[in-house]
Structures are given as structure tokens and as C-alpha cells.
Amino acid sequence: MKKRVVVLGGSFAGLTAAFDAKRLLKDAADVIVVSNQPLFTFIPSLIWVVPGWRRVEDITFRLEPALARHGIQTIIANVTHIDPQRCVLTTHKGEVPYDYLVIATGPHLDFASVPGMGPHDGYTQSVCNLPHALTAQQAWVEYLKDPGPIVVGAAQGASCFGAGYEFVLNIEYALRRLGIRNQATVTWLTSEPFIGHFGIWGVKGSEKEVGRFFSRYNIESIPNVAIDHITPDTIRLSTGRDLPYKYAMIIPPFMGIEAIRNSPGVGNAKGWVEVDDHYRHLTYNNIYAAGVAVAMTPPQPTPIPTGVPKTGYMSEVMGRAAAHNIAADIKGHDLKPLSPLDIQAMCLLDAGDSGMMLVVDKVFGAKRRREILLPSTLMHAGKIAFESYFLWKTRTGRTYLP
């Protein structure tokens, strides 16, 4: 009997899981993607939207036609509840039954954790999704009319440090390109115990190399700090210091989406899905999770709480593993384990006109055998090339490519 595989989420993990599941199962399964957004967005390029270096159409494509070409159905809907007993998603368009479910959602952005943080009920900008990046772009245009101090940071509990580092380096580069760098101080603040920690306890030489970038471009760094509250023109730090700003972008901590938090037994208290090394739910054998939705605890505590990053590369690997294990289960084959902490981490950190590449064979450093940190002026061109490649690969369903 044909199985029904439903993938909740249409980004890195979700599309990888959907395309791989359909390719492996062919007519043995119907694959359905449920997404609250009609577009796939290449999130790493949102930092370039703010200064106007990318348009929406440059970094997005429509999900429905891309998936339909491979026989995958798309439902654009907001999910409000998951019933693991009945094997049903509840959406604002009705119920969606499943035989297998892959939870591959993005995060809920917890701006409320710091008073005054966020673009809606607060005073700071965000580049965590496309609408926020467009709002940050509008705020940037207004800022340029009267430049002044810029503060970029990652709040306590944040996990997406790479985007923050890229943003502060690119916004500093934007000031130089516009010839107004002397009109603005630029400050980076972070909950990491040291700069270049990245939520993974750093890479060999990362603290020194990030420090060189900051020194070269006159960016002040304030690590190992929390944010107490934010007013329209000041960020109060846990140390008691007040940072004035005219433009601020702060990465918030992430939580699981509301639908998971409203579905008892599906996620933990934070809304993350706890899985085994097959990416299978600890209680429900037909539920899998991949990407940001997966619960991961930092094995090494930090003085100020930090989260574990789940990069686009990691999300792809998890999505692929979940799809392959679902296919194996349907075909009666053995599932293959892969601990999230054993996934290789790869990152191109763009600095506007240069950057660095980070490669480690394991996310966390205790058992690493390989750590590569390569600064180069070629990294900016490398990220542009990767942007084009990844959008082509994903739009055409070639998720089997590296």
C-alpha cells in the first residue's frame, strides 16, 4: 500500500528530505510538503538584502513548481497542531494525514526574551527571515540619512552566530563603500565566551583570526555578555554598560515553533524535537525531525548561555538522513545512525570584500581530527558562486549533489 510522507517545512532540511524521499521511494509513496511560505529563501544571502546588494527574486524561488516537477505536492498553510496519535497535522486549511512525518521547520524567534528586542515590538533589526531583512533594509535607508553608532550582536541563548558575524563585517564594508565609515562606530556584542566561538567552541585559530578582522576594520568586540534591555537608542548590557546606537541588529535565541509547543509529546519544553541518531522521534517511530527543529544541547556550558548552531549544511545532512531512514523503514531495511554532533560543519563566512572558510569534521571540538580555518579575499567570490550553485541545485531537485 502506498505510504504518505509529509514534510513540515520548505527550507534546507525540508526540501532535502522531500526530494530525497521521493527519489528513493518513487511511486511507493506520496510526498507532500507543508510550508507556511510559498518561497524558498537562501537565508545566508539575507545579509546582502539589507544594503541593497540582493533583491528578493535573486535569492528565492517558488516551492510549488519546483516540487511539482518531481511529483511532490505542496500545501501552503500554517500548521497549528500535530496529533501523533491520529497521525494528522492540523492547518488553517484543514487536516493533513500522514504515515510518516518529517518535522523540518524553522525556528520561532524569541525576541520577547529581551525587553525591547526585535523589529515588531522592539527597536532592533533582524536578518533571520526574508520579511525581517526587508524591514531591516528600510531601516538602513533611513539610517543613512543621519548615520551614527551601529551595534550588531547575538543575545544570550542565541545560536546563529555566523549570520551576526557576517552582518557586522558586511555592514562595516557598506559604510566604507559609501564613504561614511568615519561617521559611525561599529560594535559587536555576543554571548559567546570569546569571539570566534561560533557556538561550537571555536575552530583552531578562530579567535585570533576574527580578532584580526575586527582590528583591521576598527570593530569593537564585547564577548561574554548578556543584554539586559533595549531602548530606542541604547542597549543596556549585563555589565551595566550602555551602548548608544542609531542602527542595531541583534540575533535572538530560537525556540521551536508554536505548533510543536502546542502539541504535547511532540517536542520538549522549548519546542525542539528530541530524536535518536536515526533522526527518529524518541516516542513516535513514524515521526522524524531534521535541521533547526532537532533538539541539541551544548556539551560544554558557557558562562552566558549559548545555543548550538544548525547550519544550512547540517540541516541538509539531517534531512537526507531522515529521508533515507524513512525509505529504509518502508522497504524493511536497517536504519543508519548518524549523531548530529558527528556531522561535519562547513561555513563560508563573508566579510564583504574578503572572508574565511571554516571546516571541521565534527560540530564540537572534543573529538575532532580536522579543523581548517582559511582566510582569503577569494571567500567573497566563493560565497557568491555557492549562492548560485545552491539555488540551482535545490530548485532543480538535485539534493543528492554536495
According to the model, what pLDDT value does residue 11 have?
Answer: 98
Percent of the chain predicted with pLDDT > 70: 100
Compute the mean pLDDT over every residue in the chain, rounded to the nearest whole number: 96
Q: How far apart are CA 171 and CA 127, in angstroms?
A: 12
Sequence-ordered list of residues with C-beta below 8 angstroms from that of 339, at least 6 positions apart, any chain: 277
For residue 102, give the nearest of 86, 89, 85, 91 by alpha carbon.
89
C-alpha cell at 39: 518561497
> Tell me, what amino acid is at 218?
N
According to the model, what pLDDT value does residue 299 have?
Answer: 73
Confidence of residue 366 (pLDDT cuts 50, 70, 90): low
What does DSSP assign to residue 59?
Answer: S
pLDDT at residue 124 greater than cutoff 80: yes
Q: Please pick, among 347, 349, 356, 358, the residue that the annotation labels catalytic.
A: 347
Q: Which residues pair with 372 in a beta bridge?
A: 359
End-to-end CA distance of the chain: 33
- 85-99 pLDDT, tens digit per residue, is 999 999 999 999 999
Q: What is the mean pLDDT of residues 115-136?
A: 97
Q: How far apart are CA 199 and CA 197, in angstroms?
A: 5
Q: At what angle do helices 312-331 and 12-25 cross, to 10 degrees?
A: 30
- 161-199 pLDDT, tens digit per residue, is 999 999 999 999 999 999 999 999 999 999 999 999 999
Q: How far apart are CA 273 and CA 294, in angstroms?
A: 5
Q: Please pick, among 160, 273, 317, 338, the residue that the annotation labels catalytic.
A: 160
pLDDT at residue 346 greater than cutoff 90: no
According to the model, what pLDDT value does residue 151 have?
Answer: 98
According to the model, what pLDDT value does residue 305 have?
Answer: 95
Q: How far apart are CA 303 and CA 192, in angstroms?
A: 8
Do the Cβ atoms of 105 and 293 come closer than 8 Å?
Answer: yes
pLDDT at residue 249 greater than cutoff 80: yes
What does DSSP assign to residue 221?
Answer: E
Q: How far apart are CA 91 and CA 8, in angstroms?
A: 11
Confidence of residue 370 (pLDDT cuts 50, 70, 90): confident
Examine the residue annotation and report whether 160 is marked as an active-site residue of this protein. Answer: yes
For residue 254, give the nearest of 128, 168, 162 by alpha carbon.
128
Burial (0-12, 13-18, 19+ Cβ within 10 Å), 2: exposed
Count the Cβ atoms, other than its own, within 10 Å of residue 232: 8
pLDDT at residue 389 greater than cutoff 90: yes
Please tell me which residue, 372 or 72, carries the higher pLDDT value.
72
For residue 75, give the nearest of 7, 4, 2, 3 by alpha carbon.
7
pLDDT at residue 365 greater than cutoff 70: no
- Domains of the chain and any CATH numbers: 3-108+254-335 (3.50.50.100), 109-253 (3.50.50.60)
Q: What is the mean pLDDT of residues 34-51?
A: 98
Distance of CA 163 to CAs 7, 171, 214, Å?
26, 12, 16
Give the residue ranges of DSSP H helices in 245-296: 258-261
Do the Cβ atoms of 77 and 93 come closer than 8 Å?
Answer: yes
